[in-house]
Amino acid sequence: MLELTIALNGLNVARRALDIIGNNIANAGTEGYHRQQSIITTAGSYSVGTLRFGLGADTRSIERVYDAAIERTLLAQQSIYSGTNQSLTVFSALEAILGEPSDSGLSARLDEFFDAWSGLSADPQNLTLRNGVIVAAQALSYSISSIATGIQDIRATLRPELEHAAERVNEITEEIARLNQQISDVEAMGANANQLRDRRDQYLTELAEFIDIEVIEGDLGAVTVQAGNAILVARTRAFPISTGGIDQGGMEVIFSGSTGIPVTSMGAVWVRCWNSTMNSSRRSRQRWTNWRAGLSR
């Protein structure tokens, strides 16, 4: 009978391995799915006199094929990729507004303006040259006004998007905290939580699209998620973020963290783009103000 039991155990082990293979094939196109494998070990042995006989094989566990180092790298690259894409979108819009290089951009208007003044300086009494200066000044003023309006439009578009991004980040961190609890409960009973881990990894990947994060796994599979020195998720608790204003009309993301003290400038990709447009707008206004001040002297 022992021989039949060993043979039956062997068939069950093989059947479970085939079930896992079938599950891997069925989920080959499932987003976020990690391939699983059966960990097979010997089932022990028994003695007959001085001889020891094996008791066959047994399925010890079903594990995900997962490389933590690669996953960390992918999360970091996801943040860089998303930030670059968002920056490209914003800077492309700014490039279109500035219209450079072209014959109708700000540089061309400035050249025309200063050329008009240069011509007038040679013959100050010439009415045609005086009118030329007025026309060039009007064209330059219109160009600067159009650029300022365009930048304001970009800022108006980015602000609600940033606020929506903060709301989505809070939803994701809540889900991660909830999955942390479920994973810990399952693995505390000695079972595997492969599907739950896959779902959590999907949320972590989405979170990395909004903000640079670091993920640290602790006991029973629960993870802590950090953004710089701010904590977004600590095991089963999520800490929300919010958007707030700073001087000169800029914007920042505020991390509540476990201490409740605001922590800013942690590299949210939306904030980087917002501040880029803000800085461009402020620099343009400052240059124009400086030029007018110099002219008045």
- Domains in the chain: boundaries: 2-65, 70-296
From 224, 215, 222, 264, select the one nearest 241 (Cα to Cα): 264
pTM value is 0.72
Parallel/antiparallel/unpaired status of strands 251-255 and 241-245: antiparallel
Q: How much is the pLDDT for 249? A: 47
Per run of 10 residues, the mean pLDDT along the chain (length 297 residues) is 77 87 89 86 78 79 84 85 81 81 80 88 88 89 86 80 86 95 92 92 91 88 88 90 59 51 39 48 54 51
Q: How much is the pLDDT for 199? A: 94
Q: How much is the pLDDT for 261? A: 36
Q: How much is the pLDDT for 258? A: 46
Q: How much is the pLDDT for 176? A: 96
Sheet hosting strand 223-227, strand order edge to edge: 214-217, 223-227, 230-234, 237-238
Q: How much is the pLDDT for 247? A: 43
Q: How much is the pLDDT for 293? A: 55
Q: How much is the pLDDT for 289? A: 56
Radius of gyration over every alpha carbon of the chain, rounded to an integer in angstroms: 32
